[in-house]
Chains A and B, each alone.
Chain A
Amino acid sequence: MIHFRKSLEGVDRPQMEADVVIVGGGPAGMACALRLAQLIDAHNAAHPDAPMSKENIYVLEKAREAGQHCLSGALLDPRSMNELLPGFEKEAPLDGQVHKESVYLLTRAGQHKFPITPPPMRDHGNYVISINKFVKWMAQKVEEVGITIFTGFAGTDVLLDGERVLGVRTDDKGVDKNGQPKSNFEAGYDLHSKVTIFSEGARGSCTQQIAQKFQLENPEHAQVYGVGIKELWEIPAGRIAPGEVLYTLGYPLTTKEFGGAWIYGISSTEISVGFVMGLDYADPRTDPHHAFQSFKEHAFLRGILADGKMIRYGAKSLPYGGWNCLPQLYGHGWMLAGDSAGFLNSQRLKGIHLAIKSGMLAAETAFDALRSGDASTTQLAAYKTRVDASWMREELYPVRNFHQAFEHGLLPGMVKAGIQQVLGGANLGPDFKCSPGYKNMQHLGTCSVSDDARAQFLGPAKGDGKLTFDKLTDVYHAGTRHEDDQPTHLVIADLDICNRRCTQEFGNPCQHFCPASVYEMVEEEMVETSEGSGSTQQKELHIHFANCVHCKTCDIMDPYQIIHWTPPEGGGGPNYDGM
């Protein structure tokens, strides 16, 4: 019997009072904390008679250390950092400035270089960064200004009083795999806060709780996602310059799937290679990890990676929907920031600068709320006003239809995107609608048995151990670690659906879309209970939760929406050092 994680009942829970709790210490959360500290310091300098305290502002981060669960390309558009910490370039860990970009369309046998780099893909002046190192550095700044980051603590449950968010509960520690407290059990805290800011990244688990409870999404514009798979490589010098950027479209995907790849030069011998795939594909056997491996087998990539060495692996989801898919951003006692809100420019594959900016604007709104002692919905509505008045809207509104244009494939998408370019983001009609990506998934029976056009990403990748890898080899390079003796944090509402209905209808796509081999269908001998004697073979779902890299793909793409990703015991998860 699989025991799923949930907060223990009937235990004494410690409580703590807070002014602001920031759930998730990525770029959005750290920027929010820093901006709050700046505002409070400025206030205290101006009003020494009525000082405000930073004592009770907390950041919760589920990783053992700040940045360890952060994964990105990554190119940093410095715009918001220049506002947050002018002159940050002098001390932040930056790997080099982008000086050269090219875009290629890959076909099975060749590649075509775009004669010019389309304007949205021009990244001159951006920096190549390791988001892990960058967030670690931001965390140092946050600690220096006197705000406490609780690393190794996850927000697990949103505490509600009707419409009002009272704060969050942190994870129970020391619970065994049967859900029983161990001798070192520590109950999670009830953290009561005047303002709670959710900056948990894409598909945040607390964010999902309120999104469902308060129906924050507009059903006509549901959020859509992609999953990004990344490897760090060491390669012989002279192939990719530091600060060089390459994008590819096309192979191994067909024109029906949305996705593409990047290569960023970190140093003369180190590159970031990754592949993003829309989580709105049709064939349930699609395996994004396999697509990435096939991409690396393309002659163009072989030339870059030959004799190199893969040193790190990771995967993470990202919100693609854009401006029209933004949910309600605030309510009584709460705000959403960064990827949790969906602030990502999918045309540019960039969200870090927007996450930072949204964190700053949420901080400004929280600061006003603290000063006025009012965190009501009306007061926090100022957040949305700030977003609308900022350059975030200027950047995101014109590309609001970008991803949606590709819903029917690459070629019509390019045409539609071209029209949008001319019309300032509009279509030749109303804005496109958006429905959740899992709804596109087709029953196995309707897919052709051997789909040659898609063989390169259906089912698992084999891997040659040098250029390409099977999932388990890759996962080993994610450095993921979880306490083994704990309940399963992938909470499945109805295992019967997995073991019977899904096997029939979709062939258990969780085995394929999970980039960390968490889900496995294992043959089990079933003794028949009815009159028929003997036994039959049936497959049963096994969940290797300790492999999980917290990408949230399963929560997003499961066709029955019965998988809920919840935070495991704090501190568990991947180790994206240097990613």
Chain B
Amino acid sequence: MKILVCLKQVPQKDAPLKLNESGTWIRDDISYEVNEPDAYALEEALRQKEKHGGEVVVITAGPTRAQQVLREALAKGADRAIHLEDDGFVGMDAVNTARALAAALEGESFDMIFTGLQSDDYGFAQTGVLLAELLHWPHATIIIGIEKTESGVRLKRELEAGHYQMLDMPLPCVLTIQSGINKLRYATLIGIKQAKNKPVKRLTLADVQGKLGKNLQVVERLYVPVKQKKTEMLEGTSVELAKKLVEKLRNEVRVF
């Protein structure tokens, strides 16, 4: 099995976010980490390789700092990496990101491409699916189980309210992976050392520019939500209080 895993570098969950000067995105003097479901996608790819052999390649489209997620993946056992390296990939819409990824894969051949379910920063939940479209491959989303079969893979998808869907899919395909599908491994000292000698192919925005279109989705302005915590004290006897409370719940909060 040859598997490609798309990794996105996103702000660490507890990073103190501040708007940039123009208010269009956050200031980037914070720490970053790999997007959570992407970490599970990588783990799943490594497990498939351990079971069936093959190769795990990781790719990211992002600025220089994004090589952090590639290095971590190489340290955990990925074989090689592709870095679409440019500040221009920050804030790119999902279609263009998918186009850039697809362009970077020319000349490669994979059995499966794993992406995360959605990213922690923009939360499009589209990139993986769009990539499949561009490649004319079938796809399935919210994957929580993958078994290799004679003809392809048997998949388990998460649906609402504890329901699952099982389906068979031919290869090659694109799968968007849900967090929690497996238990993440830790990088080891020796892994980190060896990662330094694994190949990282670098591509620039210019290398894929011809395949991209205009960014149709642009963030014009971000707003920090204003905290609105209002405490209202009700007074009266317990009977009156109960009545007032029910009124409030019915007419203002509208819970019933």
Contact = CB atoms under 8 A, between A and B. Distances in A.
A16 B188 CA distance: 11
Given A65-B31, A577-B16, A578-B16, A184 B189 contact: no
B135 interface: no
Interface stretch (B103-111, B140-148, B190-198, B235-243): B190-198
Interface in A125-153: 133, 148, 150, 152-153
A152 B196 CA distance: 17
A479 B14 contact: yes
A77 interface: no
A64 B13 CA distance: 13
Contacts of A454: none
A174 B185 CA distance: 9
A316 interface: no
* Max count, chain A CB within 10 A of own CB: residue among B29, B184, B189, B193: B189
Contacts of A148: 192-193, 196
Contacts of A480: 14
Given A311-B16, A577-B30, A577-B31, A186 B188 contact: yes
A186 B186 contact: yes
B29 A133 contact: yes
Given A14-B190, A481-B14, A184 B31 contact: no
A189 interface: yes
A64 B185 CA distance: 15
A14 B183 contact: no
A365 interface: no
B14 A153 contact: no
Contact of A312 (B16, B187, B190, B192): B16
A133 B16 CA distance: 14
A267 to B, nearest CB: 12
Interface string B171-215: 000000000000111111110110010000000000000000000
Nearest to A187: B188
Interface residues of B, number: 21
B192 A173 contact: no
B189 A575 contact: no
Contacts of A312: 16
Contacts of B12: 64, 575, 577
Contacts of B187: 152
Q: Is the interface of B mostly helix, strand, loop or mixed?
A: loop
A133 B193 CA distance: 25
Interface string B1-29: 00000000000111110100000000001
Contacts of B184: 184
Interface string A150-187: 10110000000000000000100110000000111010
Contacts of A575: 12, 14-15, 31
A441 interface: no
A184 B185 contact: yes
A570 to B, nearest CB: 8
Interface residues of A, number: 29
Interface in B25-80: 29-31, 33
Interface in A281-313: 311-312
A554 interface: no
Nearest to B185: A184
B196 A479 contact: no
B16 A184 contact: no
Nearest to A130: B29
Nearest to A171: B186
B15 A479 contact: yes
A136 to B, nearest CB: 8
B12 to A, nearest CB: 7
A451 B16 CA distance: 39
A68 interface: yes
* Max count, chain A CB within 10 A of own CB: residue among B16, B33, B184, B190: B16
A16 B189 contact: yes
Contact of A184 (B13, B14, B183): B183
Given A68-B31, A184-B183, A577-B31, A479 B190 contact: no
A173 B189 contact: no
A575 B192 CA distance: 22
A184 B40 CA distance: 13
A380 interface: no
Interface string A478-508: 0111000000000000000000000000000
A578 B29 contact: yes
A191 interface: yes
Contacts of B192: 148, 150
A68 B16 CA distance: 12
* Max count, chain B CB within 10 A of own CB: residue among A64, A174, A183, A479: A479
B42 to A, nearest CB: 13
Given A479-B16, A577-B12, 5 more contacts: A68-B31, A182-B183, A481-B13, A575-B15, A577-B29
Interface of B: 12-16, 18, 29-31, 33, 183-190, 192-193, 196
28 contacts: A14-B189, A64-B12, A64-B31, A64-B33, A65-B31, A68-B31, A150-B189, A170-B189, A173-B186, A184-B184, A184-B186, A186-B185, A186-B186, A186-B188, A189-B188, A189-B189, A312-B16, A479-B14, A479-B16, A480-B14, A481-B13, A575-B12, A575-B15, A577-B12, A577-B29, A577-B30, A578-B16, A578-B30
Task: Give the 4 A-B residue pairs with the shortest CB-CB distance, closest first.
Answer: A479-B14, A173-B186, A186-B186, A184-B183
